Structure 1
Amino acid sequence: MNAAAKELPVSYDLSKPQEDREPYVGSVLFFKHVIFTVTLLLILIPTTLSIYLFAQVRSLNRQLDTAGSQLAAMQEQLPSTAPEGGEPTPAEPEPPAAEVPAYTELYPELYADDSLRGTVDVDNAVYLTFDDGPSARTDEILEILDKYGVKATFFVVGANEEGDLERMQKIVAAGHTLAIHSYSHDYKKIYASVEAYLEDFNQMFCQIYEATGVKPQIFRFPGGSVNSYNVGIHQQLIAEMTRRGFVYFDWNVANGDAVFSKIQPSSTLTANALKGVGTARRAIILMHDSSAKTTTVEALPAIIEGYLEAGYSFAALTPSTRSVTFSYLD
């Protein structure tokens, strides 16, 4: 055999015995077949997918065309909204808005400016508040507050003693906040309805304004914003007073001078009031300055000193003070 014959590629002669043939796997022909097969698959798979997707798109288009035809047929079957003259019929009137309670129209002058409501929130602040005055106790409390240079808030009731109107004037002149509690303080009467509450509130508002020239902007519900007397209407009351711009305050500390009918010793009242030290970031303390609350007056200096020593500052409540309120009852 010559040199040219030796360089010819190896072929597989099937006439030779199997043991004389070169192995197929791993041969040049094997790799040619692999390459051809892979190439063929790379062509066939995308082509097959394209054909399938094209068929699906055409099917969806036919379904859309059919649905469009059916919708058009249904619209043609609907009765026309226009009369024979061709003019469209008027649109159906909108349902009436929710009925506004009649009490919102009462006392049109009974409104306050709430543009700064709750914008002030001071840490370690204490607000001394006194309910049910004024009385002779109020005079004594004003002297103590003046001695310590402390401002407070007085939620007053209707004047029922000689000199009460003058006491309201003294509260304002000393730089304290004069606020509304109730004119009659008759729970059953004022919580009989929203209208009854507004009537009582307006009486107290007018009395304060006539006596002092001040239009009070803050108030405290007798018994707090949620109590056993107003449980049926407390949400309406709060919503209406808030709508009118007034700001109400409950409390988070109490000296306990109204918990029992018996007058409590001043030491007990002091201990109760100082429970806010270290526990209340800002303490709104409930106390009372009605005529019988002599031990409230006696306890006041120790209460003031206790909070001063703990690093608290004192202030009177204003509409801008962030309020402390009780939670709604569902």
Structure 2
Amino acid sequence: MSQIAKLLAQRVALSLILLFFVSILIFAGTIILPGDVAQSILGQSATPEALANLRAELGLNEPALTRYFSWLGGVLHGDLGTALTSGQDIAENVGKRLGNTLFLAFWAAMVSVPLAIFLGLLAVRYRDRWPDKLISAVTLTAISIPEFLIGYVLMFFVAVKLGWFSSVAMINDTMTLGQKLYVIALPVAVLTLVVLAHMMRMTRAAILNVMQSSYIETAELKGLSLFKVIYRHAFPNAIAPIVNVVMLNLAYLVVGVVVVEVVFVYPGMGQYLVDHVAKRDVPVVQACGLIFAAVYIGLNMVADIVSILANPRLRHPK
């Protein structure tokens, strides 16, 4: 096996092992949640006999280890279980919700990634001058404000006062692409502001680090303009750390949308998770937690693989 194939296999194996341990933490965390599932389903007027029968029917009286391996076995076969409060198949509901979350994350990435790279290049071009300072100040201010506060501010001024966009991001299959984009404009704006600073700062730092190399000085001595030096020579050689941070922020866009979805009542995975946490619907919470963990770990694995492929020093570690 070649060195690069060995490294890639190690990354995949480590990701699977990490996901296994995360599944244990998710299952353990749902067990220690306060409240009683049977009580939340039957209500406060339920008799002790009815509660005991429902607990036995749901398998809550079985040992935790038995329940964990039963749940894990179902997940490996594509069975996420049944929602306790509604009796609906979790995989079917999660499929629709995950599609909505990925739709929102995709358009947020389509806006934030090119914008962050452009602003990073612009900050390098005007290093230590007012455009660089302005870009840094605005993006760092945006990342310092909580998502829910940005969401409510945009909702009040842009949606309520100006009436430009919808304050509630409800989408369905009957809507056209244009209608969906109009509805999710504010959530996309919030997510863009949240992840923009990190990607922009990493782009700026990576390019400035490359700009200190001797071949950059050679390109400058040839008489190339600063923009051409940055675009043709510095940026391609700084792409590995930039791709790494982009992948990490894409993982956040998928996993970290919970607050944004709740604020804008968006029918995605985050809203689905919060609704069922309140109901103490353990199978739904476990399924959502595992899917979020799998997406985050998977995108981090992709970032590692891209770094290995792009950087020869990582392919031949000493």
TM range, smaller chain? under 0.3
More helix by share: 2
More contact order relative to length (CA 8 Å, sep ≥ 6): 2
**Larger gyration radius, structure 1 or structure 2:** 1
More strand by share: 1
TM-score by length of structure 1 reads: 0.18
